[in-house]
Structure 1
Amino acid sequence: MIVTLLSGDRPRSPLLTLILLAILAGLALAPFLFPGVRSLETAARICIFIVLVASYDLLLGYTGIVSFAHTMFFGLGAYGVALASEHIGRGFGALAVGTVAGAVAAALLAMVIGLFSLRVRAIFFAMITLAVASAVAVLVSQLSQITGGEDGLNYRIPRELTPAFRWGGKLFDVNLNGKLLNYYLVFFCSLGLFLLMLRIVNSPFGRVLQAIRENDFRAEAIGYRVVRYRVAATCISAAVAALAGSLFAVWLRYVGPDTTLSFEIMLDILLMVVIGGMGTMYGAVVGATLFVLAQNYLQNLMGLASGATEGVPVVSDLLDPDRWLLWLGVLFILSVYFFPTGIVGRLRAGR
């Protein structure tokens, strides 16, 4: 049963298996193991970014396509839910309509971009996607009557997914309310999408994508329509990214250019892919988990370390919490240096 769910793609490393099981158990039991608003927010963000990073790895790691428009598709899914909730009303029907509309819009836009630009060389395609993503971000900021502009949109989701909804008392000191239901909606949807991505990359379609990545001329010579496969991969990746954006919108109950469309998020996705390991779905799990945890807790850990070394002037200054981005960059450089194929690639190579 487990092999079927993993689509035959086993971790192939005892240590990697333990890490993945620990992450799965931690996310599945996060509300009970790590009580608190911040920890639950971190766990939900990890779930969403695992799906987002996995969808981008389908392009970069499995197909060899460099794109800078992934946050655009992520934002389309988020704004789809926001606009549907704003205009249709508070209900699960609005969430469904917004989710489907966002995924379809993302897939269609990806198809248009792919058909017109995937015939050019990789660097030119990357520049085209960057230009389109920048144009969409500017358009969203200027259409304030529809999108809320720079202020974004606040909207109401079904009451059953909010803390105001109580469906029980307490279980292990955890309130049984709509916030808990919302988290498990995010968790199980993210798990299902990740397993779907794992199935896609281990299917015959996924093998063709890897062949195109290794040598597109040879793949074309043996009869595969390279452009069609690349466009299909781009559409699937965009649709899954939009679904991740929809989950993010349901969880956050707010969307704005800075939270869904910023280029900083695109850079974070790239870092997660590189840290975890390109060309492996498990890399998305490890990379997203480590990066989101570092984003949320590295500054606090540095504050503790700075306080503990207060008597040592130079060390205390270096560990100042305001320098957490510096140390995050150092950690990234070290991870690339010691794990050039990513953490997952290194663990599999050294098994």
Structure 2
Amino acid sequence: MLKRLLSGDTPRSPVLTALLLVILLTLAFAPFLLPGTKSLETAARICIFIVLVASYDLLLGYAGIVSFAHTMFFGIGAYGTALALSSTGPSFLSIVWGSAAGALVAALFALAIGLFSLRVKAIFFAMVTLAVASAFAVLVSQMSWLTGGEDGLNYKIPRELTPAFKLFSAKIFGTSVNGKVLSYYLVFTVALCLFLMLLRVVNSPFGRTLQAVRDNDFRAEAIGYRVVWYRTTATVMSAVVAALAGSLLAVWLRYTGPATTLSMEIMIDILLMVVIGGMGTMYGAVLGATLFILAQTYLQGLMGAASSAISAVPVVSDLIAADRWLLWLGVLFILSVYFFPTGIVGRLRKARA
């Protein structure tokens, strides 16, 4: 049953299986295992970014397409939900039709980009997507009458998803089951379903053909496969899933702005997560997103505590000062690429083989 749920793509490594189980169980019971607002925020971001990174890996790892427009699709989904909630009020119907509208617009943008750009060489396609994403970010920032400009949009969500709503009067394992917990489980459930759907896609005949196109597009074209069609379809599917991840972020944050969805920093983070976890492996998105977001969230605090503990040692304490956390995050990334050139998942599977 479990193998069927995973579409036959098992971890194929006991260490990888253990890591994935720990992450799954921790995320599934995060409100009860990790009390506190910061821990729940981190768990929700991990769920959202697992889906976002997995959707990008469908492009980069499975189709061999380098795109810098993924945050544009992410932002379209977030703004679609935000505008729906702002215009028609805080209801679940607004979330549904806003998410559907955002996914549809993202699919149309991806279709246009795919049809007009995928016939060019990889580097030129990457530059086209970068230009389109930059232009879209500028457009969103300037359309303040609709998008709120640089300030973004604040809006209300259904009361059942806010901390004011109490599902049970009594606490469960010391945790009050309020609307925030329900909102988290909405994010977790949708993210899990989207991830399993992507896992099914990459292990289907379509996914196998996509990998063949990635490995040798000339040979795939020669034996009758329509390479542009497969690449365009992968681009559209990836954009739709990224847009749905953006909708989840919009519901969770109750705020949508250019800095949270459209910035180039997020695009770079996504790329790093894919590389760290392992390209061409959906499980790499799980490990890469989890490790990267944990480092983003807690590395600065840990370094600050370590620097204070050894403040008597001048040079070392300065090197690990809290304001140098980005430097050490970069060092960790370089080391991970050096020691895990195929990503963590690739290295674990290779060790098992």
Q: Give the match for residue 7 of structure 1.
A: 7
Measure, in 2, the Cα distance between the counterparts of 1:160 and 1:21: 30
2:210 is equivalent to residue 209 of structure 1: yes
CA RMSD of aligned residues (A): 0.5
> What is the 5 A alignment of 1:243-262?
243-262=244-263
Q: Give the match for residue 50 of structure 1.
A: 50
Q: Give the match for residue 94 of structure 1.
A: 94
Q: Give the match for residue 302 of structure 1.
A: 303
Q: Which region of structure 1 is more displaced relative to structure 2, 157-166 or 299-308?
A: 299-308
Q: TM-score, normalised by structure 1?
A: 1.00
SS at match of 1:164: coil
2:220 is equivalent to residue 219 of structure 1: yes
1:175 CA displacement: 1.1
Measure, in 1, the Cα distance between the counterparts of 2:209 and 2:346: 21
SS at match of 2:11: coil
Q: Which region of structure 1 is more displaced relative to structure 2, 303-312 or 3-12?
A: 303-312
The letter of the residue matching 2:250 is: A
Measure, in 2, the Cα distance between the counterparts of 1:193 and 1:2: 17
> What is the 5 A alignment of 1:331-346?
331-346=332-347
The letter of the residue matching 1:199 is: R
1:311 CA displacement: 1.4
Measure, in 1, the Cα distance between the counterparts of 2:310 and 2:30: 32
Measure, in 1, the Cα distance between the counterparts of 2:202 and 2:88: 36
1:140 CA displacement: 0.3
In structure 1, list runs of 5 or more residues that go unmatched: none
1:249 CA displacement: 0.3
> What is the 5 A alignment of 1:26-41?
26-41=26-41
Q: Give the match for residue 291 of structure 1.
A: 292
Q: Give the match for residue 270 of structure 1.
A: 271
For residues 294-343 of structure 1, what are the alpha-carbon distances to aligned partners after superposition, in whole Å with 9 as ceiling and x for unaligned?
Answer: 00000111012112211111111111000000000000000000000000
For residues 94-125 of structure 1, what are the alpha-carbon distances to aligned partners after superposition, in whole Å with 9 as ceiling and x for unaligned?
Answer: 00010000001101110001000000000000
Measure, in 1, the Cα distance between the counterparts of 2:55 and 2:33: 28
Measure, in 2, the Cα distance between the counterparts of 1:81 and 1:160: 17
Measure, in 1, the Cα distance between the counterparts of 2:345 and 2:314: 38
For residues 235-284 of structure 1, what are the alpha-carbon distances to aligned partners after superposition, in whole Å with 9 as ceiling and x for unaligned?
Answer: 00000000000000000000000000000000000000000000000000
The letter of the residue matching 1:277 is: G
Q: Give the match for residue 172 of structure 1.
A: 173
In structure 2, list runs of 5 or more residues that go unmatched: none
SS at match of 2:177: strand
1:212 CA displacement: 0.4
The letter of the residue matching 2:312 is: G
Measure, in 1, the Cα distance between the counterparts of 2:44 and 2:166: 20
SS at match of 1:315: helix
Q: Give the match for residue 182 of structure 2.
A: 181
Measure, in 2, the Cα distance between the counterparts of 1:52 and 1:242: 9
Q: Give the match for residue 82 of structure 2.
A: 82
Q: Give the match for residue 232 of structure 2.
A: 231
Q: Give the match for residue 134 of structure 1.
A: 134
Q: Give the match for residue 106 of structure 1.
A: 106
2:241 is equivalent to residue 240 of structure 1: yes
Measure, in 2, the Cα distance between the counterparts of 1:285 and 1:176: 26
For residues 206-252 of structure 1, what are the alpha-carbon distances to aligned partners after superposition, in whole Å with 9 as ceiling and x for unaligned?
Answer: 00000000000000001000000000000000000000000000000
Q: Which region of structure 1 is more displaced relative to structure 2, 170-179 or 44-53?
A: 170-179
SS at match of 1:234: helix
The letter of the residue matching 1:220 is: E
Q: Which region of structure 1 is more displaced relative to structure 2, 88-97 or 289-298?
A: 88-97
1:188 CA displacement: 0.6
Q: Give the match for residue 63 of structure 1.
A: 63
1:172 CA displacement: 1.4
